[in-house]
């Protein structure tokens, strides 16, 4: 290792150490993204709910659906036998997410599942359009400052306590089918006295439970004062029986599975990684610039054979020995045909013409003219030798070029 390389490495190590020392006591910034993932321990993840859901839903079997859509899961549980035509499972479908995470085909399957005496519990800020149209409901987004937002249950037998949420409680129901819908919960703020945020809508033999405040189930609120009680009250409306919890969210698609994921999640490691790459790149550029040799320009070797041929040709032409020059052009032409196309030139007939045409792709009329001129010359009929030389030379050029 030469001296310059040692200097580069020392500078790089010094910069990395400086970054690590400066960031050692710096607090890691809080990730406020509303992922609603059961794997996330950030404020708006569902890690704690995932760990504590069994005590919240006592004596109920909980099955998590993580790798397929609701349609794929429910359809696989349907018995299409004409004597049965029902699901092999009975219970409640559960989904908690920031935004709608159920595709249209799954919504149709969910309606069929509920119609067979099952239930669906959906806690999300916005619901699929197909679901709202069928249940004759609508929601509205309205921003409020994150202070003095109150949330409570409609049935005082469940709980009469009101909970203060220090966050923007924004979404609520603006339209419901009052003839069939049961209001289960409310919310209020400084500007509005009461909005509906939790309802029960019957559908054939089952029910939909719709809740517009999924943040109540996140790590942030389950660990904040007594807010876990509100989540427990809301979940108490889930009927006894099996629960099928859909945990595959749209947010999961954006989670990186790169080996560098942890490095990028730590500011100090991320900057150290970037500086390492930049340092290596600078080293390569400067080192290559210093050591690269000049590539010499090599002139192509002159083709002496072509020059010699031109000289001999000019000599014959100047001497006026046209017949000899014609013979040598014919010999050169036939030799080239034999070597390059492997065609027998002993007899210049129609067979020779056809073979040369197929192998060279040249105009058959040009080949016929050249063969005629060669045979005519060989038959010792000579007109103007200079004119014959020009004609044969032009005919040969058409074939060879």
Say yes or no to pLDDT of 273 above 90: no
Cβ atoms of residues 113 and 87 within 8 Å: yes
- Going by pLDDT thresholds of 50, 70 and 90, the confidence category of residue 85 is confident
Highest mean pLDDT among 71-75, 266-270, 302-306: 71-75
Say yes or no to pLDDT of 224 above 50: yes
Highest mean pLDDT among 107-116, 168-177, 263-272, 370-379: 107-116
pLDDT at 149: 85
Q: Which residues of 261-288 are buried (b: 16+ CB within 10 A; e: fewer)?
A: eeeeeeebbebbeeeeeebeeeeeeeee
| Average pLDDT of span 284-308 | 67
Question: How much of the chain, in percent, has pLDDT values that exceed 70?
Answer: 80
In this predicted model, which residue has the larger pLDDT, 110 or 286?
110
In this predicted model, which residue has the larger pLDDT, 22 or 338?
338
DSSP lists the bridge partners of residue 211 as: 123, 198
Q: What DSSP element (H or E) covers 232?
A: helix 227-235
From 39-48, 347-356, 375-384, the region with the lowest mean pLDDT: 375-384
pLDDT in tens, 36-60: 999 999 999 999 999 999 999 989 9
Best CATH choice for the domain 47-254 from the list 3.40.50, 3.40.91, 1.10.357, 3.40.30:
3.40.50
Say yes or no to pLDDT of 253 above 50: no
**For all residues of the chain together, what is the average pLDDT?**
84
What's the rounded Cα separation, in Å, for the pair 148 and 353? 102
Q: Structure tokens of 121?
A: 């519990």
- Going by pLDDT thresholds of 50, 70 and 90, the confidence category of residue 93 is very high
Say yes or no to pLDDT of 318 above 70: no
In this predicted model, which residue has the larger pLDDT, 62 or 256?
62
- Which of 277, 260, 265 has its CA nearest to residue 12? 277
Q: Structure tokens of 293?
A: 């040799």
pLDDT at 292: 57
- Going by pLDDT thresholds of 50, 70 and 90, the confidence category of residue 246 is very high
From 100-109, 259-268, 385-394, the region with the lowest mean pLDDT: 259-268
- Going by pLDDT thresholds of 50, 70 and 90, the confidence category of residue 110 is very high
What's the rounded Cα separation, in Å, for the pair 381 and 389? 13
pLDDT in tens, 113-123: 999 999 999 99
| Average pLDDT of span 22-49 | 84
pLDDT in tens, 162-194: 998 877 667 999 999 999 999 999 999 877 889
Beta 91-96 vs 119-123: how paired, if at all?
Answer: parallel
User: Which sequence spans correspond to the domains of the chain?
Assistant: 47-254, 304-400
């Amino acid at each position: 290792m030469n001296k310059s390389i040692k200097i580069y490495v020392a500078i790089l190590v010094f910069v990395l150490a400086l970054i690590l020392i400066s960031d050692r006591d710096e607090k890691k910034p809080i990730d406020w993204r509303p992922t609603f993932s059961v794997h996330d321990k950030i404020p708006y993840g569902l890690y704690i709910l995932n760990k504590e859901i069994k005590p919240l839903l006592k004596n109920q079997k909980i099955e998590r659906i993580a790798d397929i859509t609701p349609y794929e899961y429910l359809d696989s549980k349907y018995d299409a036998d004409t004597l049965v035509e029902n699901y092999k499972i009975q219970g409640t479908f559960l989904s908690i997410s920031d935004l709608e995470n159920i595709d249209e085909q799954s919504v149709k399957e969910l309606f069929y599942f509920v119609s067979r005496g099952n239930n669906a519990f959906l806690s999300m800020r916005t619901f699929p359009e197909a679901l709202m149209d069928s249940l004759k409901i609508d929601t509205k987004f309205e921003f409020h400052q994150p202070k003095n937002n109150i949330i409570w249950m409609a049935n005082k037998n469940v709980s009469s306590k009101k909970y203060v949420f220090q966050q923007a409680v924004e979404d609520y129901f603006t339209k419901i089918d009052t003839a069939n819908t049961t209001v289960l919960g409310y919310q209020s703020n400084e500007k509005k006295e009461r909005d509906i945020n939790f309802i029960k809508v019957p559908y054939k033999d089952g029910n939909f439970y719709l809740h517009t405040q999924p943040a109540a189930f996140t790590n942030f609120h389950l660990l904040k004062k007594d807010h876990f009680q509100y989540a427990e009250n809301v979940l108490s409306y889930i009927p006894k029986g099996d629960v099928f919890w859909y945990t595959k969210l749209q947010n999961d698609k954006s989670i990186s599975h790169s080996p560098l994921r942890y490095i990028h999640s730590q500011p100090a490691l991320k900057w150290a990684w970037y500086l390492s790459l930049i340092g290596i790149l600078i080293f390569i550029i400067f080192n290559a610039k210093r050591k690269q040799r000049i590539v010499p320009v090599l002139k192509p070797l002159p083709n002496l054979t072509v020059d010699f041929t031109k000289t001999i040709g000019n000599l014959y032409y100047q001497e006026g020995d046209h017949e000899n020059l014609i013979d040598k052009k014919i010999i050169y032409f036939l030799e080239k045909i034999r070597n390059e196309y492997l065609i027998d030139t002993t007899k210049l007939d129609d067979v020779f013409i056809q073979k040369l045409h197929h192998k060279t792709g040249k105009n058959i009329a040009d080949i016929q003219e050249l063969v005629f001129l060669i045979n005519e010359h060989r038959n010792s009929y000579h007109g103007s030798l200079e004119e014959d030389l020009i004609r044969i030379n032009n005919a040969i050029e058409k074939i060879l070029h």
